[in-house]
Amino acid sequence: MSKRTNKKRFFIVGTDTNVGKTLIAASLSQALIKCGKSVCAIKPVASGGDNDVKILKKYSTPNNLSISDINPFLFYDSIAPHLAAKKEGVELSVSAIVKKTSRALNCDADYIIIEGAGGWYTPLGDRESMADLALAYNCPIILVVGIRLGCINHAVLTYECMCNSGVKIAGWVANVVDKKMVYVGENIESLKLIIRAPLLGIVPYIKRLNRRQSP
């Protein structure tokens, strides 16, 4: 068991891939650290390389966790995790992910930030998805909405599915991912009328981070 029984966990999911989940996870981690809190940010499953994992590692409180502790399933092909796992002969399941992240989940930190992969229903196998992993972790969800054309439909569908699953939604973040997006404010206002959870922040367009940049 962890020494810190009052640690808080948040699971960060997105309306799609490439909507800025790592940016939000790293920014949240950095903000908590500035407030004097210890933070462990993890990404249980990653495909497309380890850049996101290294960013999370950089913006976590120094600890004795290894890269494999915070990211036990890493695939370098930029394809859906379940396809990448099959290609490499890896069995990917909710139970395996939870087991392999147990050390990180029980580390001596005030906050655990868990970043998902892809969207809410991104497959992990033939019958399980990222939604099942979120339910298994049983912690409040932060939804990252990528503000671009079509975002209202994607956000509402994701939000309704999350509500129907019974998870607790801590809030959502509007992250502008298309620098040419018009009517940004109007889109966000429309979403505020539909999503009955706190809008935690609005992030203007930022170029994709690498591990040398600050969020």
d(CA 192, CA 12): 19
DSSP 163: H
Opening angle at CA 161, ends 155 and 166, nearest 5: 125
Q: Which residues of 165-194 are buried (b: 16+ CB within 10 A; e: fewer)?
A: eebebbebbbbbbeeeeeebeebbeebeee
The per-residue pLDDT for 4 is 45
The DSSP result for 87-127, as a single string, is HTT----HHHHHHHTHHHHTSS-SEEEEEEEEETT-BSSSS
The per-residue pLDDT for 212 is 52
- Backbone phi, psi, residue 193, to 5°: -75, -25
User: Which residues carry out catalysis?
Assistant: 43
**CATH class given for the domain over 8-203:** alpha beta
**CA distances in angstroms from 115 to 5, 14, 38, 45, 53, listed in the order given:** 21, 9, 17, 9, 10
Q: Please list the pLDDT of the chain residue by residue as tens digits (215 residues).
A: 334 445 799 999 999 999 999 999 999 999 999 999 999 999 999 999 999 999 999 999 977 899 999 999 999 999 999 999 999 999 999 999 999 999 999 999 999 999 999 999 999 999 999 999 999 999 999 999 999 999 999 999 999 999 999 999 999 999 999 999 999 999 999 999 999 999 999 999 987 655 555 56
The per-residue pLDDT for 2 is 38
pTM for the whole structure: 0.92
The per-residue pLDDT for 214 is 52
Give start and end residues of each alpha helix (H) in the chain.
21-34, 51-58, 67-70, 81-87, 94-100, 102-105, 130-137, 151-165, 184-194
Under DSSP, is residue 160 helix (H, G, I), strand (E, B) or coil? Answer: helix
The per-residue pLDDT for 120 is 97
Residue 119 corresponds to which tokens in the numbers above?
Answer: 């969207």
